[in-house]
Amino acid sequence: MGATVTTGSTSESTTGTAASTAGPAATDLTAEQQAAFDAVVADDGRVEPRDAMPEAYRRTLVRQIAQHAHSEIIGMQPEGNWVTRAPSLRRKAILYAKVQDEAGHGLYLYSAAETLGVDRADLLDALHEGRQKYSTIFNYPALTWADTMAIGWLVDGAAIMNQVPLSRCSYGPYARAMVRVCKEESFHQRQGFEGMTALARGTAAQKAMAQDALDRFWWPSLMMFGPPDDASPNSARSMAWGIKRFSNDELRQRFVDATVPQAEFLGLTVPDPDLVLDEETGHYRFGTPDWDEFARVVAGDGPCNRQRVAFRRQAHEDGAWVREAAAAHAARRAGARTAERAAVGDDASRVA
C-alpha cells in the first residue's frame, strides 16, 4: 500500500517503494503512542522516522517538506538563467556555486521527505503535474543582473528568516537538514547584498537597475512568508506540533525590520509609501501585500508559472538516462556485494 501525498485540499495515493517500507502505518495512534508523541513535542524533543506519529502530522510534514524541496529546485531557474551572462568570471563562479547549492538543498529535503514514507519520484510527479506547490517567488522573472543580486539579498534573506526556526522543528530529519541549508543560505544572502552594494555604488544606470530590482522583488519577497495569520489554515496546528515556531506574520515583520535598514544603507527606497518606523515598538509598520496577486500566483497564474514547470519537466525528461545509469550501477554493485557475501559464506562453510 502506498503512503499519501497531500496537496492541501486533495490527496493522492502513491506507490513508491519507500512508502511500503518506511514510516509509521497510516493509522490512528494508541493512547500510549499519542502520549509519547505529545511528550516529545511538549519537551521540545525531536520526533524521529521510526517513532509513532499522528497521520495528520506526517502528512503536514510531507506537504511542507515537499513544497520546500520543489522550491529549491525550481528556484534554480531564475538565477541559473544568468550564469552565462554574469558580468565577470568571479560573479559567474559565485553564482554557479550558489545555484548548485540550491540543487543540494533540494536533495537534502527530498531525502528528509522520504523518511516519512514517500518516494521522491512520486513527489516529483506531483510537482510536474501541478498537484504540489512551490514558493510563489519563483514565478517572477529575473529580467536583469540586478534581479539576480536582489534574489540573493531578499529571497535568500527571507528564506533564512523562515528557515532558521525550522532548524528547531520537531521532526528530526527536517530540522537537521535545515542546519546546513541555513549556513549556505547565509552565504547566498551575503553574496546578494554584496552584489547589490556594487550596483548601488556604481554608475547611475547601475543604481537605477538595483532600485528597479528592489521595486519588483520587495512585495513578492514579503509574500514568501505565506498568507496573513488570520488566513493561514495550517499555522495553528503546525505551531502546536512544533513544526512552525513563529507565525507567518511574525516572520514577515522580522524580515521587514532586518531588511529596511539594509536598503537604507544601500541608498535604495523600499517601494512602500506606508513604511514607517514605529518609535514606540521599534518595529516598522508597512503596507499590505497584494493578496489577490498572491492567490493568482499560487493558483498558477503568475508571470512564469507555466514556463517554470515546463522547463522542470523537460529537465526531468532529459535527465532520465542519468537516473537509469545510476540505478543500473547501484543494481550491479548490489549484485556484486551479494556475490561477495555468498563467496565469503562458502569459504566459511569449507573452514567449518
Judged by the rule CB under 6 A, the positions of this chain that interact with ligand BYC are: 8, 63-64, 67-68, 71-72, 75, 102, 133, 135-136, 151, 155-156, 159, 162, 223-227, 232-235, 238, 244, 248, 298
Write down the least CB distance from residue 73 to ligand BYC, Å: 8
Q: Which is nearer to ligand BYC, 33 or 111 (CB)?
A: 111
In 3D space, the residue among 22, 5, 24, 6 whose CA is nearest the CA of residue 14 turns out to be: 5
CA gap 118, 120 in Å, rounded: 7
| Nearer to ligand BYC (CB atom), residue 249 or residue 257 | 249
Three cell numbers, residue 66: 515537499
Cβ proximity to ligand BYC: between 20 and 184 the closer is 184
3-class SS at 115?
coil
Q: Name the residue nearer to ligand BYC (CB basis): 131 or 207.
A: 131
- Residues counted in the chain: 352
Q: Which residue is nearest to ligand BYC (CB)?
A: 8
H/E segment holding residue 282: none
Q: What is the DSSP string of 131-165?
A: SS---GGGGS---SHHHHHHIIIIIHHHHHHHHHH
Phi, psi of 116, rounded to the nearest 5 degrees: -95, 10
Q: How far is the CB of 230 from ligand BYC (least distance, A)?
A: 11
Contact 145, 155 (CB under 8 A): no
The cell numbers describing 113, all together, are: 521527505
Residue 32 beta carbon to ligand BYC: minimum distance, rounded to whole angstroms: 29
Closer CB to ligand BYC, residue 102 or residue 272?
102
Please state the closest distance from residue 267 (CB atom) to ligand BYC, in A: 25
CB 270 to ligand BYC: min, Å: 19
